[in-house]
Structure 1
């Protein structure tokens, strides 16, 4: 679905969000309620997450979908 975005930028921002949250990849996957192997694929840039996974990542890591997908705006909202 998001193939036109490429994996590099998204994976880079996902790694930054994990670091910003001071989490391990395992803990980040748990907070996003995702399978660790699938999550690791997104972090490594091997796979692109679909819409449900994007939503789960944004909710679990408390980050903006615009920032995760496109790199625009702040990673986190003002109230976070």
Structure 2
């Protein structure tokens, strides 16, 4: 299961925000965001509520990862399960080149599956 910090990092990166941008939105600073994401500090109730409102997720999801998202984390509908969130969090730790390799492999797998479906 993802930690609170990993869930915050996932939401921030999924929405294309830097730590500073998120900090500005919720009235904090980038050092605090970094400490939350690295599990050095746990955000207080006020910050949890601000994050929930910012990303349109429940406070329960941020705190426990146990409820579904209230709404999409981005402009697209999200049906992401916990293991997919963990994988996304791990992919975010890769270099840009490594991320491109992962993306290429996934796209090729999808293309191959699509091609095989047409052949049947």
**Aligned residues, how many?**
72
Asked if the contact 1:33/1:56 (under 8 Å) is kept, the reply is no
Q: Considering only CA atoms, is the larger Rg found in Structure 1 or Structure 2?
A: 2
Q: Which residue matches 1:70?
A: 64
Q: 1:69, CA displacement in angstroms?
A: 0.6
Q: What CA distance in whole angstroms lies between the structure 2 residues aligned with 1:54 and 1:71?
A: 13
Per the alignment, residue 41 of structure 2 pairs with 47
For structure 2, list consecutive stretches of 5 or more residues without a partner in the other structure.
76-120
Asked if the contact 1:33/1:60 (under 8 Å) is kept, the reply is: no
Q: Which residue of 2 aligns with 1:16?
A: 10
The runs of 5 or more residues in structure 1 that have no matched partner are: 1-7
Q: Deviations over 1:16-67 (max 9, x none)?
A: 1012211111111111221222122111111011111111221223322111
Cα RMSD (Å): 1.9
Does 1 or 2 have the higher relative contact order (CA < 8 Å, sep 6+)?
Answer: 1
